[in-house]
A and B are shown apart, each in its own frame.
Chain A
């Protein structure tokens, strides 16, 4: 009977993530304290490392680029009520599309190679998500299960492709041929020396375009409308004449294509070749990013920046305070993911209650809703 009412928008978007983040840092601080280091010093190092100087900020942006793509992939699927946790695998196999185009066109110009590689990586990543989508739409196999299984298939497939197909006979390392300059995505440092030696590259422009594109897709197109109807009420979408099966397949394909953009950033912007495991868990960070960003492009951009900063600042921390080992950094990152992602709703009920207490209008509204339901 206690009527809970959704939080006001600003509290949902700003206050709750801020509380979660604060809690994550609080617990992380305790961990740092436990190993005998100063938490305040640690956080200063992280912030300075992530934003304090050009190289560091460049790295932050480079990580954030990946997280924007994978975060958007999760968000687009989520709007249609689908939980795509296969971003990792989709980003990984998309590398095949990127490398084939990049190697084929590396004697031309990046203006030719990059757009085509975007299409190719999107197509391969999209296909990798389309299959689970098709299985759910036509066979009822849940995408949560199939997408995660496709991550393993992707990993095995890529080991085979890199070692048996793409590796030149002359190299020993498991990697493809190196892309020549015409097939590489230009680095931002070529335009702004501020970024030092950091690997942030023009892929970030694609990321920004993707953010805008997803916003338009979800809220300003008929397809996005249908997607949201399906996500909120699949029976109503059937009533509205929306083909749920077709929506599921198309949405999953878009989601996979977005995840596939990670390949542009990594293969053509950073590694300049296809290596093993270059996604490095970005697909899973994308889940936390989407959750924290409330599936909204603005939120995703901010959350991606946060996680980028955490990755970069963490590296820095490890360097400055040797007692904080690599494993400790992972613990801190995991705590942030835990609080902002997995336990995202931990403080929601308490926050909702306090809002009920402090704002009478909202309280009245909540009661009106609950009584309308019980009397209906």
Chain B
């Protein structure tokens, strides 16, 4: 978007420099794919060497998924050549791709929850109409694969009983069972804890050692740096660069992705905390099943500071956020705003929280923060629909709502700037901007933010972080919940770590190491945090 389009579509020449002991697993040449006016893939060249891990990065809509879909047979390219192991193929569908040894691990797992691991792996690849022989063969084969690639899973465990990381292994095993030589992983760490991500990387390294080829699609630059051998950057449908990972840096990659210089570190001055704005006292919250998820939590947030709550997803952060913002009844305890207790009982508690001056950017914008089938302007007033600003009495002043929406779009640079467009058609980053604009517009005393940059591209992340810091500097109290530890560390002035429904520790982001925080997040107290930090090349900051 910016002027300095100095991109220089390089051929993957760097790869030619390395000795080709095994040749190319995948070669794409001049791949073009148009969807009407949109040129999703423009003259894409990509060569992936056998036995390597190749990363593909790019913002949302850069064309990564289209390219991989072409390789995996979901789409056919308009023009261009695909070579697998040096032989040209016209891949017609995913079955064909599998037959050529290309397997895909989707971002959202395609597993049957109430089937066992073994049944899921054999499913769709049975030998005959009878199940028993397939399962028997599957069990032997699974044992061999597990030993060969260090992929231990209990074949008889049900999918619903195993962790997300284990489920991902099952997906990988599924691909290997079907004879995949090249594995495509689409945003594989999005759902994993740091520990599980480390385990995944170990598996990927083993796969590489055994001669398999891995194509890793991700937007997390630190992962690219930690595990890949070479990396290709896509922007606006073009392959901007292919480089050796060892010869690049996260900053350089980010710049290639966005097309301009990006600050990966958030620049912020010291905090200047004032009086206590938000106070949570002995809060106990249960989830929909009646299981207590927040156990006697107390903390406070002062004006002009950002308090970050770190923790592995599922340790009560969601329920904490929902309770404070009035979406979920608390069992016990109080939430105080400027010293006044908030009355959050009842299913319209969120309205009272808003009136009292608490704005909420929800964790899951698609499920909570937006009605995706609405036009953009309709979402610009969600939560504030009863405000007299949008019409006196029972009637809705559509003109006023539309003017407000246009104002939001202007100040938060939402693209496309179309208030009548269906909200589902905006990208993740722009949807998040729509939510942020709405919640920040009211100048609330307290802003509660959950996962502000989940599924948001790099350019927008920078913008969103700056907006949050601007709110802080304007003297607002901000509670930030995120599973991205980097985000917490760079934004928060104070870090609280949540584990199993409790605040297990507090840390100063300036001094706490990732290792200390990681141990606290795993439920091992700060006192024992003397253990060494994780060793998997994770110290590369991004």
Residues of A within 8 A of B (CB): 1, 220-226, 228-229, 232-233, 235-236, 238-246, 359-369, 371-372, 374-376
Contact = CB atoms under 8 A, between A and B. Distances in A.
B383 interface: yes
B60 A372 contact: yes
Contacts of B367: 233, 235-236
B349 interface: yes
A360 to B, nearest CB: 3
Interface in B336-372: 346-354, 360, 362, 367-372
Contacts of B186: 374
Interface stretch (B134-142, B151-159, B253-261, B422-430): B422-430
Given A233-B370, A244-B347, 12 more contacts: A222-B385, A222-B390, A225-B396, A228-B374, A238-B347, A239-B325, A239-B369, A240-B382, A241-B352, A371-B66, A372-B60, A375-B61
Interface of B: 35-38, 40, 60-61, 63-66, 69, 74-75, 107, 186-187, 325-327, 346-354, 360, 362, 367-374, 378, 381-383, 385-386, 390-391, 394-396, 398, 424-425, 427-428, 455
Contacts of A232: 371, 373-374
B258 to A, nearest CB: 15
B114 to A, nearest CB: 24
B348 A242 contact: yes
Max chain A C-beta neighbours (<10 A), residue from B35, B347, B348, B394: B35
A221 B394 contact: yes
Contacts of A360: 35-37
A246 to B, nearest CB: 7
Contacts of B348: 241-243, 246
Contacts of B394: 221-223
B350 A363 contact: no
A224 B38 contact: no
A239 B368 contact: yes
Contacts of A235: 367-368
Contacts of A367: 35, 38, 40, 66
24 contacts: A220-B396, A222-B386, A225-B378, A232-B373, A232-B374, A233-B370, A236-B367, A236-B368, A239-B360, A240-B350, A241-B350, A241-B354, A242-B351, A243-B348, A360-B36, A364-B35, A364-B37, A366-B35, A368-B61, A369-B424, A371-B63, A372-B60, A375-B60, A375-B64
A1 B346 CA distance: 41
Nearest to A367: B35
Given A225-B378, A238-B327, A243-B347, A376 B74 contact: no
Nearest to B390: A222
Contacts of A1: 69, 74-75
Contacts of B69: 1
Contacts of B385: 222, 225-226, 229, 240, 242
A369 B327 CA distance: 29
A228 B374 CA distance: 9
Given A369-B425, A371-B65, A241 B349 contact: yes
A66 B354 CA distance: 43
